[in-house]
Structure 1
């Protein structure tokens, strides 16, 4: 889709009110050498919307998130946050925009050398320069929001189960009151019951903050539960998107094969033969 300078889609009738998406990726390209990962990706996430991007390994999901966060520089294309183009921002403006984000990393990605409360408060202390005692109070409050007792704050990540580590990572993601939260494979490595607990917590925390959520996963149970809308990425492009209620009747053979986990279909896995 093409857009005017004010962010209005080309073809919109004059006088029509169109809300600016919280996040808009347009014609995004990213390659590593000869390997093309993003190949003209277009994606919009509305304000307070929960969008889940599904797709197999190596289809570009994580690279898309890293480009949106500025951790990777896209080769070309547009990344707009609240209508502001971010691909050419200087350091100070980049830091200002990044304060809008929270992130739950795949595998939790906690700092082993820091107690739980400092992990949760890391962005408050390092990014917002909050006093340590004040940051600890916020950390304990956020731990309570994800169902963890005050005593957990003094433990180290190695003393926690996988499910508890995910809860701590979620507490860290919401600690700075972000406007946008990215969830990278939030249920990976968890048993089905704990995965469902994490899904419920994600829904609750996003709703309490009024935040926009963009999640990437291949866990269809999670996608169905936390999404307002689902998009599928394949070979670096979004090939289908729609309300979660329409996923089973998408009419797209790639989507149908993926959500039902079928080996036969248009998606062919590369298998190495001896």
Structure 2
């Protein structure tokens, strides 16, 4: 027997449109992300993946359509209502986006200290514990981001994303700039952390190895529309020529890259 709350998608988008001048970036996006589900949005650079995430977060306002979080219409809310809704989110930014002037533990505990007003002593303890969850030892806590390798920075970014125990985690190109082995380590950590938290995950990437590892479902964004949505297990048999070209990285196909002549 199910409860009404469990039937409501964690994230729901209906008819979401966003344009910048004459350029239509999102053109009527419909997407549901269930509770505890991991959905990965794939697509080339400049296809609107980041705009979609920013619209859900309220950083950008859609021109049309509705966005619901836990059944609540968050499309145009602001102030304290927006802060309350955003408290459910954690995010791993592309390139980790750590604060250079703060030691690692303060980076990880930033949401605890600034968002939840947790005391510094408790925040540090929780930060060190979270670093352990992503495979980093306590001595890393007092280092600065400039003293870390790219892979370690990405782990710290992941620790920051999960330290507040969010209900929803966004992953923005989580493996960018990493070698294939470290990328796979990060993918494994993402799967583990999301499962341990029981969180809902929405990721954007053009890295198909990452998408295959972390996704339950995959959605492909092309020219402002989701042209295919389905289980990751079915992506190799999508029957969609755009999806097939993208996942196999072929130059020839219906997707034409815009190349400027100099």
For the residues of structure 2 that align with 1:62 and 1:88, how far apart are their CA atoms?
19
- Residue 90 of structure 1 and its aligned partner are, at CA, apart by 3.1
| CA deviation profile, 1:62-90 (whole Å, cap 9, x unmatched) | 00001101111111110000110001213
Unaligned segments of structure 2, at least 5 residues: none
| CA deviation profile, 1:205-226 (whole Å, cap 9, x unmatched) | 0000000000000000000011
Matches within 5 A, 1:1-274: 19-274=7-262
For the residues of structure 2 that align with 1:169 and 1:256, how far apart are their CA atoms?
32
Please state whether the residue corresponding to 1:268 is helix, strand or coil: coil
After TM superposition, what 4+ stretches of structure 1 lie above 3 angstroms from structure 2?
A: none
For the residues of structure 2 that align with 1:190 and 1:150, how far apart are their CA atoms?
23
Report if aligned partners of 2:6, 2:35 keep a CA contact under 8 Å in 1. Answer: no
For the residues of structure 1 that align with 2:251 and 2:76, how far apart are their CA atoms?
42
- Residue 33 of structure 1 and its aligned partner are, at CA, apart by 1.5
TM-score, normalised by the number of residues in structure 2: 0.97
Residues 123/50 of structure 1: CA separation in 2 closer, same or farther (3 Å cut) = same
For the residues of structure 1 that align with 2:5 and 2:124, how far apart are their CA atoms?
43
For the residues of structure 2 that align with 1:18 and 1:46, how far apart are their CA atoms?
9
| CA deviation profile, 1:106-162 (whole Å, cap 9, x unmatched) | 000000000000000000000000101110001000000000000000000000000
State the superposition RMSD in angstroms: 1.2
Please state whether the residue corresponding to 1:167 is helix, strand or coil: helix
Please state whether the residue corresponding to 2:77 is helix, strand or coil: coil
Unaligned segments of structure 1, at least 5 residues: 1-15
Please state whether the residue corresponding to 2:255 is helix, strand or coil: coil
